[in-house]
Amino acid sequence: MSTAERLVVVVLFEDVDLLDITGPPEVFSLLRRETDGAAGYEVLLAAETMAPVTTSAGVRVLPDVTFREASTRGIDTLLVPGSVEVDDRGRVHALADPAVVDRVRTLAGRARRVASVCVGAHILAAAGLLDGKRATTHWSTARQLAAEHPAVEVDPDPIFIREGAVWTGAGISACLDLSLALVADDFGEGVALRVARQLVMYLKRPSGQSQFSVPLEPVSATRRVEDLRHHITDNLGGRLTVADLAEHAHVSERQLTRIFKSELGTTPSAYIETARVERARGRLESTDDTLERVASVCGFGTTDTLVRAFRRRLGTTPTEYRSRFRAGRA
């Protein structure tokens, strides 16, 4: 390995998310090409043994080294991916195998920095590496992370968070944003920009930017709440007060609020606003509608109400959102 290369060790284990382990190396490999080999990373996939590891996508991956061998190397960056299980109701639960946690704890002690990808944050937390730190993960498991590790300040909104030598990244494709941020930190923004262009992606969604996903889950266990959810979706542009919903469900307003809180973990008003923001996102991405039109069609009434909802739910404005995510924009 040349002096210009930095060793990245990616942790492998059964049922690991495939993109978590393939996305970052793709970013790192383009760095070498964009610098004509003058700078780059050496990436090693490490597992308990040298046997093939089956990912969550069913694709088998061959490790380069064992965990024991990796621990003898000078690790620049330890990259920790994640894995989940989904129950029969579609609920996602992040996994943290104790054996993997122990290996990560050991390897982290030999690394200059540690970065988790998606729900890999749960492994870092279980290893005690996030105690007293602010961290992010995929929004679908953020509540689980906060509940299981109260010493961690969980923020489900940012694309990635840096706390000293520990980085945590949000879900799925955000692994590319995290990897670009690591490249920029190591070799400068100019090099990272060239890599981003090769990937045909925005250089870096700022670390504080929202994951831009409005979670309308989980699916309710009761038919009545599912009917309410469909009713809301079908009538977003119209009148949707708590009184209207209570009348539709043939319950009192107080009982309706209790049902939403117990079944969906939110209030009726908050759920309606979330659903309207989700609908507005789609129109901003796929149409040339004016903000006035989007506000009207999605039930916000005024652009001011639309803007306030976007700031509250996504941490940005409708105009800024459209400029970044408008499909087919120049």
Residue 132: partners with Cβ closer than 8 Å, 6 or more residues away = 151, 152, 153
| Number of domains into which the chain is organized | 2
Report the first-to-last Cα separation within the chain, whole angstroms. Answer: 41
pLDDT greater at residue 101 or residue 317: 101
Quick check: is 118 catalytic? yes
Please check whether residues 194 and 236 belong to one and the same domain. no
The CATH number assigned to the domain holding 301 equals 1.10.10.60
Please check whether residues 14 and 73 belong to one and the same domain. yes
Please check whether residues 163 and 230 belong to one and the same domain. no
Q: Is residue 217 part of a domain?
A: no
Please check whether residues 185 and 293 belong to one and the same domain. no
**How large is the average pLDDT for residues 289-316?**
93
Determine the structural domain holding residue 54 and report its residue range.
5-198
pLDDT greater at residue 323 or residue 272: 272
Residue 222 has what pLDDT?
62
Residue 133 has what pLDDT?
97
Q: How confident is the model at residue 2 (pLDDT cuts 50, 70, 90)?
A: very low
pLDDT digits (tens, 9 = 90+) for 12-37: 999 999 999 999 999 999 998 888 87
What is the rounded (10 degree) CA torsion for 130, 131, 133, 138?
Answer: 40
* pLDDT of 171 above 80: no
The rounded distance, in Å, linking the Cα atoms of 24 and 252 is: 51
Please check whether residues 193 and 227 belong to one and the same domain. no
Q: Is residue 43 part of a domain?
A: yes
Please check whether residues 102 and 21 belong to one and the same domain. yes
Residue 87 has what pLDDT?
85
Catalytic residue (one of 108, 118, 246, 272):
118
The rounded distance, in Å, linking the Cα atoms of 63 and 77 is: 17
- Average pLDDT along the chain: 87
Please check whether residues 94 and 181 belong to one and the same domain. yes
The rounded distance, in Å, linking the Cα atoms of 156 and 138 is: 7
**How large is the average pLDDT for residues 290-295?**
96
Please check whether residues 17 and 103 belong to one and the same domain. yes
pLDDT digits (tens, 9 = 90+) for 144-159: 999 999 999 998 878 8
Q: Is residue 206 part of a domain?
A: no
Question: Which residue carries 């970013």 as its tokens?
Answer: 27
Please check whether residues 126 and 255 belong to one and the same domain. no
